[in-house]
Amino acid sequence: MSRKNYATKEEATRAMLDRARRYCAMSEQCESGVRQKLIAWGATPDEVDPIVERLRAEAYLDDERYARTYCESKILQQHWGRQKVLYQLRLKRLPKETIDACLTVVDDETYYGILRDTAARKREELGETPDTDRRLLSFLATRGFTMNEINKAIN
């Protein structure tokens, strides 16, 4: 978005705010992601804070809602483990309390059911070879499941 197209700074800021509103309305976003987008679109650092505050006030931006949605979709649809979700949310610079609260959105029974199903599908895919167990554990660990969770679900 070129600043040359706007007569005043206020017009450019208003256009940036409108673009950010559309971006947040399309899908759930976190604050750090919106800040990065605004800078990539050409917003100056002194414009970013007021735009983000306005988006928060208008409920376009809510990190708790984002974290909850992210956790649910990654665990229930992508079959990620809590450790991988935790790591990804830390990369998005969300507060620890927000991350901890969202990790409990999926109850343990559902979570371990997902882990068992994922392990069964992968075991079937791998077949019975001498290194099946090692490859299965490695796969589940890369999906974000801890060894304690894997042992509890498989045994």
For residues 124 and 95, what is the distance between their CA atoms, to the nearest angstrom? 39
First to last CA, the chain: 56
pLDDT of residue 11: 85
For the entire predicted model, the pTM comes to 0.85
pLDDT in tens, 10-22: 888 899 999 999 9
pLDDT in tens, 52-110: 999 999 999 999 999 999 999 999 999 999 999 999 999 999 999 999 999 999 999 99
| CA distances for 3 relative to 20, 23, 99, 141, angstroms | 16, 19, 37, 47
Token readout for 46 is 């002194």
- Name residue 49's amino acid: D
3 has a pLDDT exceeding 60: no
Sign of CA dihedral 76, 109, 119, 146: positive
pLDDT of residue 85: 97
2 has a pLDDT exceeding 80: no
Band of residue 9 on the pLDDT scale cut at 50, 70, 90? confident
Mean pLDDT of 122-141: 92
pLDDT of residue 16: 92
Three-class SS state of 25: helix
Q: Which residues contact 5 (CB under 8 A, 6 or more apart)?
A: none
Backbone angles phi, psi at 146, to 5 degrees: -80, 160
User: What is the chain's Cα-based Rg?
Assistant: 21
